[in-house]
């Protein structure tokens, strides 16, 4: 059996307390005019003003677009691109949560290649490099600072859509845990749970050894030894510090662990991809209007239970990374203990445990299952195959809160 390994990442990843102060030097290597994409809330903070002043002091002119909205409405990006037309930026800087970073990717894409965002939906539709992107997250969850995907909301579609291309990967990711210190508890929990779900799904994704053309045909290629390394690092860091960061937002070490965990999870799933938990969240989230990270975390224990029949060894390894002791238990027992630990952790930080609790209508369960099954790029990445009956059982089990029904 041949071993397939691939990894797609930014050219530079800078992580650590105070790394935001490196931005002027980093930006100066890419030009003298920067389009900055952020949201209204962060644009009004003292730290944002400080960052902008540092850029201008380094002779980098800035045009600030502070109109980024949650979930990146499709047509909002064109407004920014039109504003930037006369400015002719040399680079795009995204500062904020995942939506701000995804917005910045889309802005760089349209400035560079024109057209409309819908021209690029899917995989490998971006024809070439875009303006250099510098990604600076202020939350710890999506991993967008290192991934090749941007997710947007299209008013003509019920579900969110993605643009996936290696050309969307940031040139530089600057991750400063100090920027997350004021993140409220609820957002810390949801974002951190999102990151942990990324890591788990990347580590348990389908492995496709030997198909060496796969990275040329698909952006997400399943688990590899390199993505496994990042996924387990993410599980370890988030397992030991996510609860602490939620309980005490001033805990600098916990904040650093959670941000590094989110970064590592992004490094993992940016190549390996995600699977069934994300597939169910797309339709469930569209119906319930709940945050993405909350929905995938709600689904994760049920998907793990479903997958335990074929991925018990991998789930057991996740348990070890979480700090569970094997104590002579076999893979199946360890997998069961791991799933229970994930349920406990998510409950401790306030993750809703069922789809019913998220507000999913009982009469839309079949529709949710059908839509989830149709998201082939995610379903084909799941280690245990699905048919419609199996997906319906999974959705019903997650609605009822019945883990045992998933493992059938």
Q: Which H or E run contains 91?
A: strand 91-96
Q: Which H or E run contains 381?
A: none
Q: Report yes or no: 274 and 375 within 8 Å, Cβ to Cβ.
A: no
> How confident is the model over 344-362, as pLDDT tens digits?
999 999 999 999 999 999 9
> How confident is the model over 38-92, as pLDDT tens digits?
999 999 999 999 999 999 999 999 999 999 999 999 999 999 999 999 999 999 9
Helix (H, G, I), strand (E, B) or coil at 335: helix
Q: Which H or E run contains 352?
A: none
pLDDT score for 84: 96
Q: How many other C-beta atoms are found inside a 10 Å radius of the C-beta of residue 106?
A: 28
> How confident is the model over 216-227, as pLDDT tens digits?
888 999 999 999
> How confident is the model over 128-157, as pLDDT tens digits?
999 999 999 999 999 999 999 999 999 999
Residue 211 has pLDDT above 80, yes or no: no
pLDDT score for 326: 84
Residue 1 has pLDDT above 60, yes or no: no
> How confident is the model over 154-192, as pLDDT tens digits?
999 988 999 999 999 999 999 999 999 999 999 999 999
Q: Which one, of 274, 47, 286, lies nearest residue 183 by Cα?
A: 47
Alpha-carbon gap, residue 123 to 135, rounded angstroms = 21
Burial of 387 (0-12, 13-18, 19+ CB in 10 A): exposed
Q: Which one, of 292, 8, 35, lies nearest residue 123 by Cα?
A: 8
Q: Which residues contact 354 (CB under 8 A, 6 or more apart)?
A: 298, 398, 399, 400, 401
pLDDT score for 2: 62
Helix (H, G, I), strand (E, B) or coil at 163: strand
Distances in whole angstroms, Cα of residue 395 to Cα of each of 194, 345, 405:
19, 21, 10
Any idea what the Cα angle at residue 262 is, between residues 179 and 381, rounded to 5°?
150
Provide mean pLDDT across the span 374-379: 92
Q: Report yes or no: 123 and 377 within 8 Å, Cβ to Cβ.
A: yes
Q: How many other C-beta atoms are found inside a 10 Å radius of the C-beta of residue 408?
A: 11
pLDDT score for 401: 96
Q: Which H or E run contains 149?
A: strand 149-152
The pTM of the full predicted model, rounded to 2 decimals, is 0.96
> How confident is the model over 227-285, as pLDDT tens digits?
999 999 999 999 999 999 999 999 999 999 999 999 999 999 999 999 999 999 999 99
Q: How many other C-beta atoms are found inside a 10 Å radius of the C-beta of residue 262?
A: 33
Alpha-carbon gap, residue 49 to 33, rounded angstroms = 17
Any idea what the Cα angle at residue 214 is, between residues 212 and 220, rounded to 5°?
135
Residue 210 has pLDDT above 90, yes or no: no
Indicate the pLDDT class of residue 324, thresholds 50, 70 and 90.
very high
Q: Which of 93-102, 205-214, 293-302 has the lowest mean pLDDT?
A: 205-214
Helix (H, G, I), strand (E, B) or coil at 93: strand
Q: Which residues contact 29 (CB under 8 A, 6 or more apart)?
A: none
Any idea what the Cα angle at residue 272 is, between residues 347 and 76, rounded to 5°?
75
Indicate the pLDDT class of residue 5, thresholds 50, 70 and 90.
confident
Indicate the pLDDT class of residue 213, thresholds 50, 70 and 90.
confident
pLDDT score for 214: 86
Q: Report yes or no: 315 and 231 within 8 Å, Cβ to Cβ.
A: no
Q: What percent of the chain clears pLDDT 90, i.e. is strictly above it?
A: 91
Residue 13 has pLDDT above 70, yes or no: yes
Q: Which residues contact 218 (CB under 8 A, 6 or more apart)?
A: 123, 377
């Amino acid at each position: 059996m041949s071993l397939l390994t691939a990894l797609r990442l930014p050219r530079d990843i800078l992580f650590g307390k105070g790394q935001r102060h490196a931005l002027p030097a980093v930006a100066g290597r890419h030009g003298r005019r920067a389009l900055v994409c952020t949201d209204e809330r962060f644009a009004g903070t003292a730290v944002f003003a400080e960052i902008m002043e540092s850029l201008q002091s380094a002779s980098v002119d800035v045009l600030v677009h502070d109109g980024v909205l949650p979930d990146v409405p499709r047509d909002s990006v064109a407004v920014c691109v039109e504003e930037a037309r006369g400015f002719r930026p040399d680079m795009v800087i995204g500062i904020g949560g995942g939506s701000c970073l995804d917005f910045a990717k889309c802005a760089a894409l349209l400035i560079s290649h024109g057209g409309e965002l819908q021209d690029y939906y899917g995989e490998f539709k971006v024809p070439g490099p875009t303006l250099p992107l510098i990604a600076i997250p202020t939350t710890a969850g999506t991993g967008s600072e290192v991934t090749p995907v941007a997710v947007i909301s299209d008013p003509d579609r019920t579900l969110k859509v993605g643009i996936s291309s290696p050309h969307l990967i940031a040139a530089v990711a600057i991750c400063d845990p100090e920027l997350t210190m004021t993140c409220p508890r609820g957002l810390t929990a949801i974002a951190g749970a999102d990151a942990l779900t990324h890591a788990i799904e990347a580590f348990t994704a389908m492995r496709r050894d030997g198909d060496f053309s796969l990275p040329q045909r698909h952006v997400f290629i399943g688990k590899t030894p390199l993505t496994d390394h990042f996924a387990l690092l993410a599980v370890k860091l988030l397992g030991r510090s996510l609860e602490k960061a939620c309980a005490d937002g001033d805990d600098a070490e916990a904040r650093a662990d959670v941000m590094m965990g989110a970064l590592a999870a992004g490094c993992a799933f940016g190549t390996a991809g995600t699977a069934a938990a994300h597939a169910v969240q797309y339709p469930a989230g569209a119906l319930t209007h709940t945050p993405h990270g909350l929905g995938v975390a709600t689904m994760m224990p049920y998907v793990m239970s479903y997958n335990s029949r074929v991925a018990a060894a991998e789930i057991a390894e996740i348990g070890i990374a979480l700090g569970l002791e094997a104590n002579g238990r076999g893979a199946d027992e360890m997998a069961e203990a791991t799933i229970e630990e994930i349920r406990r952790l998510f409950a401790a930080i306030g993750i809703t445990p069922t789809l019913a609790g998220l507000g999913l209508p009982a009469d839309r369960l079949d529709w949710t299952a059908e839509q989830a099954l149709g998201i082939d790029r995610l379903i084909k990445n799941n280690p245990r195959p699905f048919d419609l009956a199996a997906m319906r059982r999974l959705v019903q089990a997650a609605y009822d809160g019945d883990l045992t029904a998933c493992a059938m």
